[in-house]
Structure 1
Amino acid sequence: MNEIINYFSTIPSSHRAIILAGGIAFFWLIESAVPFVKFKYNKWQHAGINIFFTITTIIINFCLALILLATANWTNENNFGILNSLPPMNPWLFAIVGLLLLDLIGAYLAHFVEHKVTFLWRFHLIHHTDTYIDTTSGNRHHPGESVIRFIFTTFGVLLIGSPMWMVFLYQTLSVVSTQFTHANIALPKKFDNFLSYFIVSPDMHKVHHHYVLPYTDSNYGNIFSIWDRLFGTFKTLDRDKLVYGVDTHMKPEENNKLSNLLSIPFQKYRSPKT
């Protein structure tokens, strides 16, 4: 465990970039060879839009990183947060508890609130407009949402008292998990169902991308599936019934055009069908 802590305490930015790019390339190759859904679309054009949003997310997080670092250092120096109030424990158990809490507050809670607060949904909506879910879709976040997510992450670090190595470890696992759950692949059904009791599986997350309620408002989990099962937001849907997108923006000129995607949060609000 000490080796992991030491590595993620000083993980170079180049390594994080390699993990991000390597994950996309790995799942891109798999889904190109054996796609779950044989989309009739321009894969490169679609990827171009999503990679644009990936780059803006990277830039925003890089510019705000000092705030996150300062927050983590402050909690450590002042013995603040949930983790710092717990009794001494095995390093592995400490890491698991911390990762679960970061997943709950920084990811699950943030995602849930984005779906329930109209102002925040306007930005998160861009992620759901994608009608061709593949591994590049995982980072399809409006720049405004990237800022919103950063605020939730920082709040989570402050409340939990996470050391920076734990934040970097969580973010690394999150990147790979996101690419995996959005990839246009299908695991054997029984294996996918087994995974969904522990982590978010591809089938589980793809239900979240079904185009209508109540499925859109379900399966908010990022890495761990425990929160959806615990809080009653877990749903299933047969694979052959999945339709990606969101019912308010199903036209290609609305969901597959970069200029429109950037302006959606500022357009007239459209209520989803219930």
Structure 2
Amino acid sequence: MEHLISYFENIPSHHRAILIIGGLTIFWIIEGIIPLFKFKYNKWRHALPNLFFNLTLMLVNFPLAFMLLKTSDWVRDNDFGIINWLPEMSLGLYAFLGVFFLDFFGAYLPHLIEHKVKPLWMVHLVHHTDHKVDTTTANRHHPIESVIRFFFTLLGVFVVGTPIGIVFLYQTVSVIATQFSHANIKLPKRVDKAISYVLVSPDMHKVHHHFRLPYTDSNYGNIFSVWDRLLGTYMELNPDKIVYGVDVFPDEKKNQHIGELLKQPFQKYDKPTVTPGED
């Protein structure tokens, strides 16, 4: 564990890029072998806007990384934060708790808030307007959302008290976890269910991408499913009933156009034609 933390403390930017691209490639291949939905689409054409937003995510995070470094150095030097106030523990448990609590502050909490605050929901909508969710959808976030989520992660580093090695470990695990949960892969139901008791599984997260409430407002977790289970936002839905997209932006062609997606948070829309909660 010490070697792992040391590696992430000094991980070069290109290594992080390789890990992100590597995870995307692996799940891309797997979903081609055991797809959950047999989409009739040009996979590369569909991936283009999603990969564009993956790129903007990296362009946002890399220049701001110094803020994570400064904050993590401060909490370490001042013995500040949740995991530093707990009794002495093994490095493995210390790292796990760091990742565990960062998953709440950096992923679950902002995701929940984005669904409850309309201006933030408008920004987050870009993620939900993908009509064919696959592993490339994982980081399909408007650049404004990437900035918002960065600052929630920064808040997490401060409150949790995580050193930079654990911060970079968390970010890497977070990206791979979201690539996995968005991947269009069909796992045996028992396997997916077993995974979902602790981690966010593909079937669990796909419920969140169903276009109707209340399912859209559920299963906010990224790495750990326990946040949804503990805080009452966990829901189940048979994958056969899931329909991707958002009813207020139903035009699939526009929702695959980068320019339209960049403008989407600033556009007005009519009220949904489907009553929320209707099944």
- The TM tier, using the shorter chain, reads over 0.9
CA separation of 1:144/1:132 partners in 2, compared to 1, >3 Å: closer, same or farther? same
Match of 1:196 in 2: 196
In 2: Cα distance, 1:122 partner to 1:71 partner: 30
1:38 to 2:38 alignment = yes
Q: For structure 2, list consecutive stretches of 5 or more residues without a partner in the other structure.
A: none
Q: CA deviation at 1:127?
A: 0.2
The separation in 2 between residues aligned to 1:79 and 1:271, in whole angstroms, is: 50
Offset of residue 18 of structure 1: 1.0
Cα deviation code 1:80-101 (max 9, x no counterpart): 2112212211111111211111
Work out whether residues 221 and 228 of structure 2, in 8 Å CA contact, stay in contact via their aligned partners in 1: yes
Q: Secondary structure at the match of 2:214?
A: coil
| SS at 1:24 equivalent | helix
Tell me the residue number matched to 1:118: 118
Equivalenced residue count is 274
- Name the aligned partner's letter for residue 79 of structure 1: D
**How far apart are residue 252 of structure 1 and its match?**
1.6
Distance 1:54 1:157, change over 3 A: same
Amino acid at match of 2:259: S
| 2:218 matched residue in structure 1 | 218
Report what 1:130 is aligned to: 130
- The residue number in structure 2 matching 1:168 is 168
Secondary structure of the corresponding residue to residue 192 of structure 2: helix
Unpaired stretches in structure 1, ≥5 consecutive residues: none
Cα deviation for residue 270 of structure 1 reads: 4.8
Q: Which residue of 2 aligns with 1:25?
A: 25
CA distance in 2, matches of 1:13, 1:102: 21
One-letter code aligned to 2:37: V
Query: Per the alignment, in what secondary structure is the counterpart of residue 216 of structure 1?
Result: helix
Letter in 1 for 2:73: N
SS of corresponding position for 1:235: coil
Percent identity, aligned pairs only, is 57
Partners of 1:218 and 1:254 lie apart in 2 by 26
Per mean C-alpha deviation after superposition, the further-off stretch among 80-89 and 201-210 is 80-89
> Which residue of structure 2 aligns with residue 60 of structure 1?
60
The letter of the residue matching 2:16 is R
What is the CA distance between 1:33 and its match in structure 2? 2.6
Secondary structure of 2:95 counterpart = helix
Q: Encode CA deviations 1:146-201: one digit per residue, 9 max, x unaligned.
A: 00000100011111111001111111111111111111101000110011001000
Q: Is the 8 A contact 2:207 2:236 kept in 1?
A: yes
Q: Which amino acid aligns with 1:113?
A: I
3-state secondary structure, aligned to 2:177: helix
Equivalent position amino acid for 1:252 in 2: E
